[in-house]
């Protein structure tokens, strides 16, 4: 019996330790009358943005930096005024200098730097976002490595990721002017996009598609440098 209790206690300690490694921050921001929201989510894995029937923005960030050892390196800035509601995310460069390869399981680090004296520091960041916005939000969202998923929005959207994909749905009977661009990825859409009866001008590199949905309306600009773009028909 004592052995069973010891095993159970060790299991509970392990679970508590695992939970302590990740942190969660939740914040609600008022959205101004112009419906403008700007999300500069520099680092992240998954960014899920959904519409809801409230007039405010809700942001939930769950993160774990270097197995929890450098969680304090995450810099979160929430602001709002008459111009926009804004979220800015970055990593503290000084604190990340303490990052060790041993902090990153299987050497799965997202970046490393070499200092002038030859020392190396490693960063492995798991940062996920769950965001709810008014459906008619005028949204700008940018990230370096995050995958962006957008659901149920009806207002203007500009979404860009350097290495992640951008995946958005849109009601087929809702007007939009779309611009979909990628450098090394592909563009996919099951929406009826009117290309204006003219041949698309090919960019110097990559692929770009421009056209109208249901006669035009809200501007939708989706861009990825090295991943795919999806514009799906909303069910």
Q: Are 234 and 193 in contact (CB under 8 A)?
A: no
Measured distance CA(8)–CA(11) in Å, rounded:
5
| Percent of the chain residues topping a pLDDT of 90 | 73
Q: Give every CB contact of residue 98 below 8 A, 6+ residues apart in sequence.
A: 70, 121
Domain edges within the chain: 23-233
pTM, entire model: 0.87
Measured distance CA(161)–CA(68) in Å, rounded:
25
pLDDT at 39: 99
pLDDT digits (tens, 9 = 90+) for 63-115: 999 999 999 999 999 999 999 999 999 999 999 989 988 888 876 666 656 55
pLDDT at 8: 46
Q: Are 104 and 67 in contact (CB under 8 A)?
A: yes
Measured distance CA(16)–CA(190) in Å, rounded:
45
């Amino acid at each position: 019996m004592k052995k069973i209790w010891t095993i159970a206690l060790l299991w509970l300690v392990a679970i508590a330790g695992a939970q302590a490694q990740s942190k969660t921050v939740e914040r609600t921001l008022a959205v101004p009358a112009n419906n403008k929201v700007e999300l500069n989510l520099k680092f992240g894995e998954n960014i899920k943005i959904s519409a809801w029937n409230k007039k405010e923005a809700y942001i939930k960030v769950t993160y774990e930096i270097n197995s929890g050892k450098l969680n304090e390196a995450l810099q979160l800035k929430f602001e709002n005024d008459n111009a926009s509601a804004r979220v800015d995310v970055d990593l503290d460069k000084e604190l990340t200098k303490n990052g060790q390869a041993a902090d990153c399981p299987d050497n799965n680090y997202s970046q490393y730097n070499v200092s002038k004296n030859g020392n190396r520091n490693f960063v492995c960041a798991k940062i996920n976002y769950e965001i709810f916005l008014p459906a008619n939000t005028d949204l700008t969202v940018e990230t370096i490595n995050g995958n962006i998923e957008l659901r149920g929005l009806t207002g203007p959207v500009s979404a860009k990721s350097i290495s992640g994909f951008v995946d958005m749905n849109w009601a087929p009977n809702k007007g939009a002017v779309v611009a979909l661009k990628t450098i090394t990825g592909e563009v996919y859409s099951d929406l009826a996009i009117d290309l204006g009866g003219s041949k698309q001008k090919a960019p110097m590199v990559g692929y770009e598609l421009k056209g109208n949905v249901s006669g035009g309306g809200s501007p939708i600009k989706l861009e990825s440098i090295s991943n795919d773009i999806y514009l799906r028909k909303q069910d």
